[in-house]
Every structure is written in structure tokens, then in C-alpha cells.
């Protein structure tokens, strides 16, 4: 055993992917599985292939190349609007890209021509979350520019919500997007094939037929990997939940005053923490840190364990109320959220244990 260790339940991920694909198929919505959460890991990727996923999205060229080299031939969508500096290199590996900038579209057009292929483009529209996306009033201008470019095909428009400002996808903003697509179709004088909604938080909206009829593509990551919907703070019914589990080892366990001692940096806030004086507490230090996980996203499986914080290499927990006696060398296990999963998959120091 090598700790910290991440247990990865491949079968559950596969079943989630397969179930979601079939559910969306039934609504005539193409599932694009967003795979950016597992750092191009080919063992996890295999679960998607076994689930017959035919469209994936990632944002890292390294991962995209790896999937192609592993023999994946179906659709790859460049999920993050590409860096101008990577376009030449990435175009040979992808089928489609999200775009928001005319300059980027022009570079993709050039690279596509050079590679003798057509790249599908989806314009991202910002309808409130203020991450990537063009504002509605500028949409037509960009669309018309793209229409005139060789080597690219304007397939439709899309949006992403929830990820920066935390704006929740709802009926109102989704209908807004649908209306923008209609207006754009009128201006261009042709239909657009794709209305690409995203992400996991949009799934629950698709119960409404009126919405589901208009959405033709859904980009989903979290629901497949974790069965959770962090934006709506819920577990997704009928899916396997928390398919990644962290195991970490206790390297120190001592009774200590919970109150720190000495002059505290940063205006007495101790890097923003407010530490409550709870008297003497049993404190377990685990050998895993910020380099490996996002400690905000750790949910201890043993009752009574409290995560207090982390530094680069240490996780600090309060185990005074733990439901079990603990000692140095014992292992604590945690369910983890998306952000902790992302970090654990990226960290070379976290060993990966695949459970079929
Ligand atoms: C990450 C991402 C998604 C997937 O989001 P989940 O919440 O993991 O389903 C969809 N679209 C874009 C543009 C993304 O960056």
C-alpha cells in the first residue's frame, strides 16, 4: 500500500456514464462527457469507452493526445476556449471547439485548412455567470464572421453556468439561450444544429419537455464521476455517488490546545481562519496536503472526524469525537468532491487504486 491512496470505482463510473447517455438519448440529446476531472487517466477513460460514450470534452492538449494515442476515434470537443498559442498543435486532434473570440476562430480556421479538415465551432454566450462567453448583443457579429471563414463550421451556441459566479441554470436563463439561438438562426437564414447546455446542474431542468426539446447537446462531468450536483447541492437520484475515495495515514496524534499560541500573522486572523477555543482536543495529522487534495472537499467517513485545514503536506483533523479509537499509522478515509478529485487525480503523489 502506498498512501495517500485514491480508490477509484471504475464500474460505478461506467454505469453512471452509460445510464446518463441512455437517458439523454431518449430525449434526443447528445451527451458530451466532460473528462477534464481525471487528468487524462487512461484507466478511467476506459470506463467511458466501455459505456459507449462517443463524444468527450477536455481542455488539456496532453490529455487529448493521450486519448487519441490510446485509439479513441470519436468526437473530441475542446472544452476550454483554446489558447491562440496551442491552436496549431491541437487542431489535428479535435473535431470541435468552443469559441468566444474572432481572433481564435480565425486561427482555428487557418489551422484547419492547413490540416485539411473542418472544425465545428460552438459560440459560448455569457448569460450571467461571467466566465467565458460573448455577450448576447455581440453574438450575431461573431457568428457572421465565423460563417465567412473556411475550414470551420458554425454548429451552434452554448453556455456554461454555475462555475464562477455560481449562477444556477434555470428555466429563465435557459429559455434566454434558446431565444438567442432562434434570433441568430433568423439572422443567418439557416438552422443551427446545436444548442449546447452545460453542465451537471442543468440535468434536472431536462425533466421539462419544453426545455429538453430545444437542447441538443449536454456537456456533463460531475454527474458521471461523482453522481453529485454541487451547484444545486444535491445527489443525483439513481446514480452512484462518490466514486472516488481518499485514504490517508495518521502521522501524529496528540492532545493539544485547540487555541494557537503566539502572535498571529495577518491581523490576528491567522490567514483568515477564526479558530475557536475548544480547550484540549485530540488532533490527528495526516500525510496528505494541499498538493494532493482540496481539503474543503473532504468528507470523513468515520463519524466524529472534523477536517480543520491543510498545509502543503499535512492535513489537520480533530478526532476527539471520533466513533473509533485511533492511533499513529491508522488510515482515515474520505469521500471527496469534484475539486478534491481533480487535485488528487493530478497529484503524482497520490497512488491510484482501481476497483473494477
Ligand atoms: C467543466 C465544464 C463542464 C462540465 O461541468 P460539470 O459540472 O462537471 O458537469 C461543462 N462545460 C464546460 C465549458 C466546462 O468547463
Residue-by-residue pLDDT tens, the chain, 356 positions? 799 999 999 999 999 999 999 999 999 999 999 999 999 999 999 999 999 999 999 999 999 999 999 999 999 999 999 999 999 999 999 999 999 999 999 999 999 999 999 999 999 999 998 999 999 999 999 999 999 999 999 999 999 988 888 888 899 999 999 999 999 999 999 999 999 998 999 999 998 898 899 999 999 999 999 999 999 999 999 999 999 999 999 999 999 998 888 877 765 555 556 677 889 999 999 999 999 999 999 999 999 999 999 999 999 999 999 999 999 999 999 999 999 999 999 999 999 999 99
CATH code of the domain containing 263:
2.40.37.10
Is residue 325 included in any domain, yes or no?
Answer: yes
198 CA → ligand 1 middle, Å: 6
Q: Determine the Cα–Cα distance for residues 307 and 195; give it in Å rounded to an integer.
A: 41
Q: Which among 85, 86, 65 has a CA at the least distance from the CA of 76?
A: 65
Residues written for the chain? 356
Which atom from ligand 1 is nearest to the alpha carbon of 124?
13
Last residue of a domain, one of 235, 261, 281: 235
CA-proximal residue: ligand 1, atom 5 (nearest):
199
Instruction: Identify the domain containing residue 26 by its residue range.
Output: 10-235
Which atom from ligand 1 is nearest to the alpha carbon of 79?
13
Whether the model clears a pTM of 0.75, i.e. scores above it, the answer is: yes
159 CA → ligand 1 middle, Å: 10
Q: How many CB atoms lie within 10 A of CB 132?
A: 18
Domain count, the chain: 2
Residues tagged active-site: 36
Q: Determine the Cα–Cα distance for residues 224 and 21; give it in Å rounded to an integer.
A: 10
Is residue 4 included in any domain, yes or no?
Answer: no
My answer on whether 249 and 228 are in the same domain is no
My answer on whether 208 and 327 are in the same domain is no
My answer on whether 204 and 313 are in the same domain is no
Ligand 1 pocket list (CB less than 6 A): 34, 36, 79, 160, 198-200, 219-223
Q: Determine the Cα–Cα distance for residues 246 and 332; give it in Å rounded to an integer.
A: 8
My answer on whether 220 and 262 are in the same domain is no
169 CA → ligand 1 middle, Å: 12
My answer on whether 170 and 253 are in the same domain is no
- Ligand 1 pocket mutation pick from 163, 177, 202, 342 by most atoms within 8 angstroms of CB: 163
My answer on whether 280 and 227 are in the same domain is no
My answer on whether 170 and 249 are in the same domain is no
Last residue of a domain, one of 195, 216, 235: 235
My answer on whether 96 and 120 are in the same domain is yes
Which atom from ligand 1 is nearest to the alpha carbon of 219?
10
344 CA → ligand 1 middle, Å: 18
My answer on whether 181 and 261 are in the same domain is no
Amino acid at each position: 500500500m502506498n498512501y495517500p491512496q485514491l480508490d477509484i470505482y471504475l464500474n460505478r463510473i461506467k454505469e453512471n456514464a452509460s445510464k446518463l447517455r441512455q437517458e439523454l438519448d431518449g430525449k434526443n440529446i447528445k451527451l458530451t462527457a466532460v473528462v477534464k476531472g481525471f487528468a487524462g487517466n487512461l484507466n478511467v477513460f476506459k470506463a467511458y469507452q466501455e459505456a459507449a460514450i462517443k463524444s468527450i470534452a477536455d481542455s488539456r492538449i496532453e490529455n487529448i493526445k493521450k486519448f487519441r494515442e490510446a485509439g479513441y476515434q470519436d468526437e473530441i470537443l475542446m472544452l476550454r476556449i483554446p489558447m491562440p498559442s496551442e491552436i496549431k498543435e491541437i487542431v489535428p486532434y479535435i473535431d470541435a471547439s468552443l469559441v468566444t473570440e474572432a481572433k481564435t476562430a480565425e486561427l482555428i480556421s487557418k489551422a484547419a485548412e492547413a490540416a485539411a479538415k473542418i472544425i465545428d465551432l460552438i459560440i459560448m454566450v455569457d448569460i450571467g455567470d461571467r466566465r467565458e462567453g460573448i455577450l448576447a448583443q455581440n453574438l450575431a457579429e461573431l457568428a457572421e464572421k465565423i460563417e465567412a471563414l473556411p475550414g470551420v463550421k458554425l454548429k451552434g451556441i452554448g453556455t456554461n453556468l454555475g462555475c464562477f459566479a455560481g449562477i444556477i441554470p434555470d428555466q429563465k436563463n435557459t429559455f434566454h439561450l434558446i431565444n438567442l439561438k432562434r434570433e441568430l438562426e433568423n439572422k443567418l437564414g439557416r438552422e443551427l444544429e446545436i444548442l449546447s447546455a452545460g453542465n451537471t446542474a442543468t440535468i434536472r431542468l431536462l425533466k421539462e419537455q419544453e426545455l429538453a426539446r430545444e437542447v441538443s447537446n449536454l456537456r456533463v462531468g460531475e454527474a458521471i464521476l461523482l453522481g453529485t450536483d454541487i451547484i444545486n447541492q444535491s445527489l443525483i437520484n439513481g446514480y452512484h455517488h462518490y466514486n472516488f475515495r481518499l485514504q490517508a495515514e495518521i502521522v501524529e496524534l496528540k492532545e493539544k490546545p485547540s487555541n494557537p499560541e503566539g502572535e498571529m500573522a495577518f491581523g490576528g486572523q491567522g490567514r483568515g481562519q477564526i479558530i475557536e477555543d475548544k480547550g484540549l482536543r485530540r488532533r490527528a495529522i495526516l500525510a496528505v496536503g494541499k498538493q494532493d487534495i482540496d481539503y474543503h472537499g473532504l468528507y470523513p467517513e468515520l463519524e466524529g472526524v472534523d477536517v480543520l485545514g491543510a498545509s502543503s503536506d499535512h492535513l489537520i483533523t480533530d478526532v476527539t469525537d471520533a466513533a473509533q479509537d485511533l492511533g499513529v499509522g491508522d488510515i482515515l478515509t474520505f469521500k471527496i468532491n469534484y475539486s478534491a478529485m481533480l487535485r488528487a487525480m493530478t497529484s503524482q503523489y497520490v497512488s491510484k487504486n482501481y476497483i473494477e
